[in-house]
Amino acid sequence: MTRKVTTASEREIGKLHAKVYKIYGMTLDAMIQKLESGEDPAFIVDSKILMAVQKFLTDNKVYSIPDSEDEGSDLSKRLAEIKNSVGFKLVVGD
C-alpha cells in the first residue's frame, strides 16, 4: 500500500500559527475577565493551558526584556497577581 505524503506550505503553516496564537490569546483573555469579575482562581486558571502557552512561546522563540525605565509591565504585574492568587508557581522561560 502506497502512502501519500502531504506537506504544508510556509503560508499554510503561518495561517495555522496565527490561529493557534489567536485561540491562546482568547483563552487567556477569558480567564483574565473571569478573574477580574471576582471568580475563584482555583476554578478559572488552568495550569495546562498556561504551560501550553509557555511552550508555544518558547518553541517560537518569543521572549521579552523589560524596559530599563519600566518598573514592570501590565502583563508582568498581571501574571504575578494570577500566580499569587492561585498558589502555584508559574514558570516562564527556561
Q: What is the pLDDT of residues 40-82, one digit of tens each?
A: 888 888 888 888 888 888 887 776 666 655 566 677 777 777 7
Domain assignment present for 32:
yes
Separation CA 91–CA 3 (nearest Å): 41
Separation CA 75–CA 42 (nearest Å): 20
Q: Which three cell numbers stand for residue 66?
A: 523589560
Rounded to two decimals, the pTM is 0.55
Per the structure, the count of domains in the chain is 1
Express as a percent the part of the chain with pLDDT over 70.
74
pLDDT of residue 71: 61
Which residues span the domain enclosing 75? 10-86
Domain assignment present for 91:
no
Give the confidence band of 10 by pLDDT, cuts at 50, 70, 90. confident
Domain assignment present for 92:
no
Separation CA 47–CA 76 (nearest Å): 17
Cα torsion through 82, 50, 41, 30, rounded to 10: 100
pLDDT tens-digit map of 13-47? 888 888 988 999 999 999 999 989 999 888 888 88
